[in-house]
Amino acid sequence: MRLLIFGDLVGRSGRDAVIAALPGLRAQLGADFVAVNAENASHGFGLAPEMAEALFAAGADVVTLGNHAWDRREIIPYIAREPRLLRPLNFPPGTPGAGAAVITLPDHRKVLIAQAMGRLFMEALDDPFRAVEELLTRHKLGITVQAALIDFHAEATSEKMAFAHAFDGRVSAVVGTHTHVPTADHQILPGGTGFCADLGMCGDYDSVIGMTKEPSVTRFFRKMPGERLAPAEGPATICGAFIETDDKGIAIRIEPIRAGGRLLPAMPR
């Protein structure tokens, strides 16, 4: 199976770039399943329902969120009725929406996708390790699902690496989101799980993690609040990963995707 997942969309630049490129990339790479993290798609903070609909129309099978899940309040009733939009699995019980979904492909194969959020340097949440452990007692790779993908939305690379090793061999891939900086550690772990600490953002890299430079720099100089941060609107680099699995759901390839904008391009062949 061929899986595509894209890192945090930041503002209009990242959103429009992914929507424009996704149909062609999906066809070019023969992707069976596509996921997009879009928690920063709306002016850098949250996701509006119409933006989620545009991503689904462009070819995303699932859209994930993160710590900015509720920045746009209108997403709350939308996520309650849209199973393809996921918030972190380890949000407290009773939170609207779901943190995992099983998507049935046209050929009847099933893909489990989940998002969990880290706790190091992040909000205090339920344990993401235990939440995913419980999830995987109900979904067995190669038996009940033919692929399993985890978007781990976390700050610390150590937590991301530990998380991936914890579930090595039980999921097809663990890929990190949240830091907006792509890492160069794409690898297949000993048990057969693909891993990358952070996919990077889909946005303008002539910025400070996607936001305009001057207000961001000023905040570090003065340690005082200034003008509201806004997304940079220059040409976007699309960042993500391509994962290929065998018929048991084990990763046999994981490669970076980078296209457009300022970063050095990378595209699976």
- What structural domains and CATH numbers belong to the chain? 2-259 (3.60.21.10)
State the chain's mean pLDDT as an integer.
97
Q: How confident is the model at residue 222 (pLDDT cuts 50, 70, 90)?
A: confident
Cβ(53)–Cβ(19) below 8 Å: no
Task: Judge whether 53 and 74 are in contact, CB under 8 Å.
Answer: no
More confident residue, 222 or 161: 161
In this prediction, residue 15 has a pLDDT band, given cuts at 50, 70 and 90, of: very high
pLDDT for res 241: 98
pLDDT at 195: 99
**What is the mean predicted confidence (pLDDT) over 109-114?**
98
E strand or H helix that includes residue 36: strand 33-37
Residue 153 designated active-site: no
Q: Are 244 and 262 in contact (CB under 8 A)?
A: no
CB-neighbour burial class of residue 102 (10 A; exposed 0-12, middle 13-18, buried 19+) = middle
pLDDT score of 225 more than 90: no
pTM for this predicted structure:
0.96
Which pLDDT value is given to residue 219? 87
User: Which pLDDT score, from 0 to 100, does residue 212 have?
Assistant: 96
Q: Residue 206: what pLDDT?
A: 98
How confident is the model over 28-34, as a mean pLDDT? Answer: 98
Residue 243 has pLDDT above 90, yes or no: yes
Instruction: Provide the pLDDT for residue 269.
Output: 84
Which pLDDT score is estimated for 196? 98
Q: Residue 153: pLDDT band by 50, 70, 90 thresholds?
A: very high
What pLDDT band is residue 188 in, cutting at 50, 70 and 90? Answer: very high
Q: Are 3 and 196 in contact (CB under 8 A)?
A: no
Residue 80 confidence (pLDDT): 97
pLDDT at 242 over 90: yes
pLDDT grade, residue 59 (50/70/90)?
very high
Euclidean distance between CA atoms 142 and 222, whole angstroms: 54
Decide if pLDDT at 121 tops 80: yes
Q: Which residues contact 141 (CB under 8 A, 6 or more apart)?
A: 112, 147, 148, 170, 171, 172, 248, 249, 250
Average pLDDT of span 82-106: 98
CA-CA-CA-CA torsion for 175, 177, 180, 186, nearest 10 degrees? -10
Tell me the percentage of the chain whose pLDDT exceeds 70.
Answer: 100
Q: Which of 68, 178, 180, 186 is catalytic?
A: 68
